[in-house]
Amino acid sequence: MNTNLVNLSDYPIDQPDSEQYQSLVHRWRDKLSSTGLITLDNFLTPEGVDTFRKEIYEREPQAYHSVHGAQAYFDNFPGELPSEGIGSQTYCMGHHLLQNTEMDALYRWEPTRKMIAALTGNTEVFLHEDPTNALVVQMYKPGCWTGWHFDRAVFTTIVNLGEPDGGGVFECATDIRTEQDPCYEDVGEVLYEHSDRVQKHEMQAGSLTLMLGRYSLHRVTPIEPGADRISLVLKYETQPGVFISAADRKWIYGPSAPGPNDPDRVATN
């Protein structure tokens, strides 16, 4: 891992025993627990942003144009909630296209994993085992967007790498449901645009966002003409052996995206 790519002056994640690190973890862990979303500004150095963007645009021709109509509750979507504006259109690069990059090195780097574990209150987090879904670049070109949805994972780690000239606002209603209660009424208010719980975030390049995505309804508004919006999603899990279904892999990353070596393994996410 090229440590010049991470702002270790403000985020000394390579020194977990330092007072600065412990103070940082305590402060941001409490905020994540209370608000459901935190953003660490300038987590990457300018060199880090430039390096990651260069790696992405070198691989841009291999990105899969993913257009689908998945909805907020996946297979348990109640019929009385509106379905308009749900789904997504993005250009995706899966982990199989990002091997041996500096992005891959950051994802696998032990200090990164230990920081995410500490911030989420876990003793340890594990690399996502899907060869396509573990590390993902999402490119939002003009006209791209993602509709309101929840994540399958408990928490989501996003490194923001590109800001659009217009649109591309990250909107989120954090902690809107629980593991026990789907909170259809509250979710419906967001989908009908009647809710006052929605917060708007314009992510800056180089920042790292950590969100409790399973319980937070969120979307990215359509990108206006101009620069691309680019996100790098790092998938960490609270248990080993997690990967997605073949069907999900196909419609997100394309029919040729590789799955586990053992085709008989059953998806766990």
Q: Which amino acid is at 155?
A: F
Domain ranges of the chain: 21-253
Phi and psi torsions of 63, nearest 5°:
-65, 145
pLDDT of 84 reads: 58
Distance (Å, rounded) from C-alpha 75 to C-alpha 79? 11
| pLDDT tens-digit series, residues 83-112 | 656 678 999 999 999 999 999 999 999 999
- List, for residues 24-51, the tens digit of each pLDDT value: 999 999 999 999 999 999 999 999 999 9
pLDDT of residue 83: 60
pLDDT digits (tens, 9 = 90+) for 128-144: 999 999 999 999 999 99
Instruction: State residue 212's pLDDT score.
Output: 92
Q: Which of 125, 130, 127, 132 is nearest to 93 (CA)?
A: 132
d(C-alpha 64, C-alpha 138), whole Å: 10
The single-letter code of the amino acid at 245 is S
**Rounded-to-10 torsion of CA 160, 161, 167, 173:** -10
Tell me what pLDDT residue 152 has: 85
Residues of the chain predicted below pLDDT 50? none
| Tokens 């009908």, residue located | 192
pTM: 0.93
The CATH fold assigned to 21-253 is Jelly Rolls (2.60.120)
